[in-house]
Structure formats: C-alpha cells, structure tokens
Amino acid sequence: MANANVNCWPLLLIGGSSERNQETMGAFQEFPQVEACRLYTKFSARPSSIEAIPFVIEKVRYLRAVRTSIYGRPGACYVDIPADFVNLQVNVNSIKYMECCMSPPVSMAETSAVRMAASVIRNAKQPLLIIGKGAAYAHAEENIKKLVEQYKLPFLPTPMGKGVVPDNHPNCVGAARSRALQFADVIVLFGARLNWILHFGLPPRYQPDVKFIQVDICAEELGNNVKPAVTLLGDISAVSKQLLEELDKTAWEYPPESKWWKTLREKMKSNEAASKELASKKSLPMNYYTVFYHVQEQLPRDCFVVSEGANTMDIGRTVLQNYLPRHRLDAGTFRTMGVGLGFAIAAAMVAKDRSPGQRVICVEGDSAFGFSGMEVETICRYNLPIILLVVNNNGIYQGFDMNTWKETSKFRDPTAVVPPMCLLPNSHYEQIMTAFGGKGYFVETPEELQKSLRQSLADTTKPSLINIMIEPQATRKAQDFHWLTRSNM
C-alpha cells in the first residue's frame, strides 16, 4: 500500500481482521489494521455491517474508497472486513446496491498562470521538459508530443514517464540527463516531483536560479523543495492542451540550432559512444551494456518492460527503449525490491485480456529476483508467457567470482568473511523456472543470450527465464555525479 501510495497508483485493498466480538481478547490476527493503514493510504475504513457494505460503498466509505483512490492524485485505499462477516447471512431484500462513482473530474489551470508559463517558456534560453509518470497516468501523450515537436523543445522522461513521447524521438535528451538538468534555465515538470529521483531540484544538479514550471494534479505538491516560477494546478492532459493553445497565439519555436541544442547533442553523442564502446566489448564475462544492447535488438516495440534491481535497473533504463506510454514498470519512488514479478504477472494478465500476444519482459537483478523469485510458480500455474531476464553478477551492485569466493571462504566461515552484498556465485536461477514447467536458460556469451531470447520470444505458450551471467565487478560507465548528490542545504 505504501508503495502504491508513494507512486500515486490507484489501489483498493480489501483485507480481513479478527471477529468483532473477540476484539481486545487476543483474537486471531487482532490488530488495529484500519488505524495502521491510515499512515500509508489516502483512506482507510471498516464497514459497520454486511447490509451497509453496498451503501457505504457509494455514500460513506467503500466506494468512497474507490472514488478516493482515483480522484485527485491517485493512491491507495484500505477497506477492512471483519472475520465474522465472511459467514454471516442477511436477507437479500435488505441489500441496496449503489451505482458506481463518476469518472474523475477534469480540472484546468488558471488562465493567467497558463499565460505566465507560456511567457517564461518563450523567453527561456535553455529550456527542458521533464515528463513524469503523472503525465503517463493522465494520458497526456498527444498534447505533450505536440509541445515537443511543434516548439522544438528538448525533453527528459523520468523512469516511468518513458514512452509518453517515444525514447527514440530526436528531442529526447535522456543520454545527456545530467547535462540537461545541470544547465537548463527553465524546466517544465509534467507530473514529475522534485524528490530524490530528480535530486530535489537543488544545486549542484541544477542552476541556483533555474525557473521551474510545475504542472500537477495535487496542490500540496506545488512548491515542494523549490519555489516554482509558475504553478499550473490541474489535469496534466488538460493543462498541456491549455499551454498548446496559449503558445499557438504567437508564432514561436525554440531554435533547433541554438547553442543549448548543440551542447545537448554533443553530450548525447559522447555518452552514446561510451555506452556503445562498452556494449561492443568481446571479453567474458559480459558487462551490463553488452547484455542490454543484445536484449534491445530483439525486444518487440509494444512489449511491457518491468525492471527492478540496482545497476540492472539503472543501466537498463538508459539502454532499453520504451515507445509507448504506460509500458514500463520499475521499483519506483520507494525503490522497493521484490515488486517486479508481481508487476509482470499483472501486466501479463492485462495483455492476455486486452492484447493477446503482447509480451511482458521482466528484467531482474539477481538480488531483486531473490525477493520474490517463488512467484515463478504463479507464472507457471497460470501459464503466463512472461520472459524473465535475470542479470546475474553474484551480488548487490557487485559480487565475487567463484575463485574469489572459494579463496575468501577457504580458511574462515563464510558468515564471518563474505560481505553481505555478495551472493552465492553462479546460482542457477533458471532451474526454478524449469522446476515448475517453464523453460530455463543459463547463458554466458552474447551468442547464447541472442539464441535463448529469440527462442523465448518465439514461444508464446509458456514462460521462460534466462539466467545471464555477467562480470561480478561490472558497473556503470563514468558518471558526472554520484547517483544521489548531496546538496548544501
């Protein structure tokens, strides 16, 4: 619930608790769940009776929970059902069913604020659009893509904002992320928060005098960490349309041959060259970039990409492309490990229902896979043709190779000498998949990776897991900043 709430996802969780007449007696699973859940949800409540459930759904609580989860900024809601409700019987004539709540209302920003925002954008010397997952949830892709293309503006997607405008769009500056953030003088935030993922909007990752234009559905989010130049409160799709209409009133576009565009393109070119050099290395074991380069070559353009891990997720998001909105799920704002396989199962069920044949690719670090690896049984039980890629470096961020492991453990117990971030070398995670009836592959070379992925994509009848061995000490290419730069506040 906390993960959903922080990621702004609508979630309704229906849970159970002890019988009402046993409360305070030490009943089975007795706990103040409604009160506890209030810390992690937008709304938490317990219906007072079975007869009241349909009524409280709409009028008081339960559908208030549905409505609360989708209105405004989406989030989690909890409804507690006492254990004695499960077997109770009531007269069907006493039940009054209520209609579903209306769709969320669409709110728009103040006209004067839109006018001011358009003026700030027109006067920017080094503008940047940041597209967050709020824009994806708002289905704002059409309007934001028009803003990007019509006015020649550079954009940067956040991890789950990828695909709102395709990653391969010429105006995407993801390959120059640090440079774009550090030197932009005007930044428009479309459903993106200035939290740790965007370094709180503070120096040294940003200019001290950078002007932020915040577009958000949540008033409480406006002005967090940095005072914005303009705030646009409203539905992101509606507000982006307002911006389009206001900018259309005066003939203008950002010069595509400006010094700013030249700076960004040069940095993109150098970073892409560095990544390509790493990807082309022939040495074994493979590195992250080699793996993701060969994976990207074969991925269907409409696939769902689910990813979690440390370097696996961070490097993977820079290489694996998203071309469609709402087609990427990762550990999110909470950086929660163990969510990947559950996300993949949910995505596969959606694909099965709405787009049969659409693939789900779940890219896992070996440690992240360990948090929920037994969900492979669920995947096989329902015969969901998910492709799991476990990028295995024998550890969290870095691990030991087999020789180092043996030498380290030779004279002392592993519990005393092996670092806690090192995992057992060369673990055969693919055997978990084969144990439940899916297909498993253990790969150590680019050729083996290409062949196993090609076979997995061709087989839509069962799930598969490709266990990809990489260099245990493999890491990211050189970075301009530490991943979470500390600001001098």
Cα 422 to Cα 367: distance, rounded to the nearest angstrom = 9
Q: Is the pLDDT of residue 373 over 80?
A: yes
Reference 294, options 452, 444, 455, 449; nearest CA is 449
Q: Is the pLDDT of residue 488 over 50?
A: no
Average pLDDT over every residue of 383-407: 95
Of 63-77, 140-154, 211-225, 320-334, least confident by mean pLDDT is: 63-77
Q: Is the pLDDT of residue 77 over 70?
A: yes
Average pLDDT over every residue of 73-87: 89
**Amino acid 57: pLDDT:** 54
Exposure string for 196-221, b = 16+ CB within 10 A, e = fewer: ebbbbbbbebbeeebbbbbbbbbeeb
Please state the φ and ψ torsions of residue 407, each to the nearest 5 degrees.
-65, -40
Band (439; pLDDT cuts 50, 70, 90): very high
**Amino acid 378: pLDDT:** 98
Task: Answer whether 464's CB lies under 8 Å from 430's CB.
Answer: no
**Which H/E stretch holds residue 17?**
strand 11-17
Residue % of the chain over a pLDDT of 70: 96
Task: Answer whether 8's CB lies under 8 Å from 75's CB.
Answer: yes
Strand bridging mode 395-396 / 398-399 = antiparallel
Q: How far is CA 98 from the centre of its chain?
A: 35
Cβ-based burial of 354 (10 A; exposed 0-12, middle 13-18, buried ≥19): exposed
Q: Give the pLDDT confidence of 177-211 residue by residue, as tens digits.
A: 999 999 999 999 999 999 999 999 999 999 999 99
Task: Answer whether 425's CB lies under 8 Å from 348's CB.
Answer: no
Position with higher pLDDT, 52 vs 135:
135
Q: Is the pLDDT of residue 89 over 90?
A: no
Q: Is the pLDDT of residue 65 over 90?
A: no
**Amino acid 277: pLDDT:** 95
**Amino acid 487: pLDDT:** 46
Average pLDDT over every residue of 225-233: 98
Reference 362, options 381, 376, 383; nearest CA is 376
**Amino acid 60: pLDDT:** 47
**Amino acid 199: pLDDT:** 95
Q: Give the pLDDT confidence of 118-129 residue by residue, as tens digits.
A: 999 999 999 999
Band (294; pLDDT cuts 50, 70, 90): very high
Of 96-110, 170-184, 320-334, 470-484, least confident by mean pLDDT is: 470-484
Average pLDDT over every residue of 147-159: 98
**Amino acid 484: pLDDT:** 54
**Amino acid 54: pLDDT:** 62
Cα 69 to Cα 41: distance, rounded to the nearest angstrom = 9
Q: Give the pLDDT confidence of 409-425 residue by residue, as tens digits.
A: 888 899 999 999 999 99
DSSP state letter for 401 = -
Average pLDDT over every residue of 91-102: 78
Handedness of CA 196, 200, 203, 206 (dihedral sign): positive
Domains along the chain with CATH numbers: 1-94 (3.40.50.970), 111-265 (3.40.50.1220), 281-469 (3.40.50.970)
Three-state DSSP class for residue 143: helix
The count of other CB atoms within 10 Å of the CB of residue 97 is 9
Cβ-based burial of 324 (10 A; exposed 0-12, middle 13-18, buried ≥19): middle
Band (135; pLDDT cuts 50, 70, 90): very high
Reference 104, options 245, 10, 201; nearest CA is 10
Q: Is the pLDDT of residue 17 over 60?
A: yes
Reference 292, options 282, 279, 305, 283; nearest CA is 279
Name every residue whose Cβ is closer than 8 Å to that of residue 158 and which is 6 or more positions away in sequence: 130, 131, 132, 133, 192, 197, 198
Mean pLDDT of the chain: 92
